Amino acid sequence: MQIWTGQSYPLGATFDGSGTNFALFSEVAERVELCLLAEDGTERAVEITEVDAYVWHVYVPSVQPGQRYGYRVHGPFDPAAGHRCDPSKLLLDPYAKAIAGMASNHRSLYSYSFEDPEQRHEEDSAAHTMHSVVVSPFFDWGNDHPPAHEYHDTVIYEAHVKGLTMLHPDIDDGIRGTYVAMGHPAIIDHLKELGVTAVELMPVHQFVQDGHLVEKGMRNYWGYNTIGFFAPHNEYAYGGDTGQQVQEFKQMVKNLHEADIEVILDVVYNHTAEGNHMGPTLCFRGIDNSSYYRLVEEDRAHYYDTTGTGNSLLMRTPHVLQLIMDSLRYWITEMHVDGFRFDLASTLARELHEVDRLSAFFDIIQQDPIISQVKLIAEPWDLGEGGYQVGGFPPLWSEWNGHYRDTVRDFHRSEPGVLGDFTSRLAGSSDLYQHTGRTPIASINFVTAHDGFTMRDLVSYNERHNEDNGEDGRDGESHNRSWNSGVEGPSEDPEVRALRLRRAKNLMATLLVSQGVPMILHGDEMGRTQGGNNNTYCQDNETAWMHWELDTDQMDMLWFTQQMIALRQKHPIFRRRRFLQGVVREDAGSPLADVEWIGTDGTLMTAEDWESAENKCLIMFLNGSAIPEPTLRGERIVDDSALLLFNASGNDVEFTLPPADHGESWTVTLGTGTTMELGETLTAGQSVTRPSHSLLVLLRPPMSDDEPAGEDHEPTTRA
């Protein structure tokens, strides 16, 4: 075997069409071996003698795609000083583009004795760990290009590759649960008919099946336990784990792009699957523990943990920052993804202790010409002190708006005293984002997400029902802001079922008429239930998978969601690019404000209305003739105007429409709990009785003939 010196950049295994260059960073290493693995498991060690700026490198002309490999790093094993090198452990390449196999919970993966943790355990791990794989970078992308949807036009669909596809009747059994299934016409057709513009995939970076879950016969379903930041998770590959997962992932992205759907990845750069000081040695720990992880300064044998998973990556070291930036650029340039949602993003902002919005991580993102141009979404909290940072991220970022979720849930379960906060969330949460120069797209609005109840369960359960998780029902959020509509769990009572359907529609409609960027949890559009389990992280089964056989209520929910998304996409008033002002503006072309808050009597809400804790009803007026922001071509946007009638109380309420200066006639467009015909006309000053827990959308065209609507509006009719 020929061995050449190779190059220190790029890091990882790089196949150039002839051979493969290997490069690995380790500042603490005293000696590094590249281990090439044959199909029968035999190992050939290649001594790496070249090292530049702590990067060990070698070029092997004979190594081709599909070759499995790993590293053995010789150096200090001194946990008290933060060092845990252990050459008995075959280590993954942090830059591996594909990973084969799955780590077992074998004792050989641990560098300490189970019987006496103070004693070293030097059993070889090669047969029980995961292996890095050399991949070919070549793929026929054809004319693939990013859909590049404007943020304010975006509707995000949070989805799980396996959960979404595992039970679909039109997908062959053999490919269900894979990237191939995610790119299947049956899935893409559903997404297109629904009207979403982007899928946000739950973690697809290579992750580990936690040993304690495997021992209980369960699995890490969600995938928030990353070990490979460049490698698509191999269990979602139809064609095996020898590099085929890369090709399948690229084809999935290509198929979704052809359907004009963006791909956003939920990424976990805050920690790794190696856990705390009692965890396995799989990769980073054995390569250079103190460079990759935050350690407790006064006790460097232990990890500083702000994630609740045992460790946190050390964001102030250049090589960790380089790893994350290289990973992000790789997924954009080589895998063609369109954005990222950063799990527990507050951890990424921690350089010393507190969350620092001017940390090096944000500085590097801001100046990067590639990463800064895709969609960047933060989960703006972690478990550390000061970790809840909704509204605290820099201007380039959007955020999961936890305030939006909590307020909308409270309003629609008739909690007192939330009306004012509810209107702030409807209007785009300017109180959270405007002070930093951001616009409504900073707010990723959501009512439900993977972590918590589904929308159907939110209106069907008061309590979590997580007994199947094996933790005596103690896991998961206990304060869900849910209401079971009168009966806990499944019910055949027609009144209870009707109320639940109406309330679920109210939540979905509110989400889709709110300023900001809506995110829908997969399955909420058709009433998916998890049986009251609000923490399905370990339920890789039909509890968490999406069921596609729909009853009448579920079909109704699906139709309603499709109509609401279509309404949003048709009308710019629901997806403004700038915050609503609530004042009359001379440059807006209307004598009325862009938004008005109107009481049930048809007049502007008074201070008494706002201050009443028991007030759970209002009318929101959105003025389609008062949108000052121009289009990209410079024309002023003019749209239909809307009245949104909200009744979150438990009683029927009489609403009086505002006077004729707001519009002489209004068209019933969509609603919940209504006996009105879609397309029916209501007039200024008319009184209408709205049932408890209901919502009504009324539209009217611009009032002057010389202000045509931005798009023609034809009310949808339905038997």
Q: Which sequence positions are flagged as catalytic?
A: 343, 379
Alpha helices, DSSP H only, in 217-340?
244-258, 284-292, 318-333
Report the alpha-carbon distance of residue 5 to residue 7 in Å, rounded.
Answer: 7
Alpha helices, DSSP H only, in 99-243?
161-165, 179-182, 185-194, 211-215
Report the alpha-carbon distance of residue 290 to residue 76 in Å, rounded.
Answer: 11
Distance of CA 202 to the CA centre of its chain: 6
Which residues, in sequence order, are CB contacts of 16 under 8 Å at separation 6+?
none
Amino acid at 402: G
Q: Burial, 115: exposed, middle or buried (Cβ in 10 Å; 0-12, 13-18, 19+)?
A: exposed
> What are the strands, taking DSSP E only, across 129-261?
131-133, 156-159, 198-201, 205-207, 226-232
Residue written as token pair 């943020």: 151
Question: Which residue, 308, 478, 276, 295, is CA-closest to 381?
Answer: 308
Report the alpha-carbon distance of residue 122 to residue 43 in Å, rounded.
Answer: 17
Question: Which residue, 71, 64, 58, is CA-closest to 22?
Answer: 58
Query: How is 519-587 classified by DSSP, letter by letter?
Result: EEETTGGGT---TT-S-GGG--STTTSPP----HHHHHHHHHHHHHHHHHHH-GGGS-SS----S--GG
Report the alpha-carbon distance of residue 84 to residue 155 in Å, rounded.
Answer: 45
φ, ψ for residue 503 (rounded to 5)? Answer: -70, -40
Contact 268, 343 (CB under 8 A): yes
Q: Are strands 443-445 and 398-400 parallel, antiparallel or unpaired?
A: parallel
Which residues, in sequence order, are CB contacts of 157 under 8 Å at separation 6+?
191, 194, 196, 198, 199, 200, 519, 520, 522
Contact 564, 670 (CB under 8 A): yes
Which residues, in sequence order, are CB contacts of 291 under 8 Å at separation 6+?
25, 26, 27, 28, 314, 317, 319, 320
Cis peptide bond upstream of 10, omega within 30:
yes
Measured between its terminal Cα atoms, the distance across the chain in Å is 75
Handedness of CA 330, 332, 337, 342 (dihedral sign): positive
DSSP annotation of 504 reads: H
Which residues, in sequence order, are CB contacts of 633 under 8 Å at separation 6+?
none
Contact 542, 572 (CB under 8 A): no
Token pair for 675: 């006996």
Contact 355, 389 (CB under 8 A): yes
Amino acid at 73: V
Amino acid at 112: Y
Q: How many CB atoms are located within 10 Å of the residue 716 CB?
A: 14
Report the alpha-carbon distance of residue 324 to residue 361 in Å, rounded.
Answer: 9
Residue 367: in which H helix or E strand, if any? helix 360-367
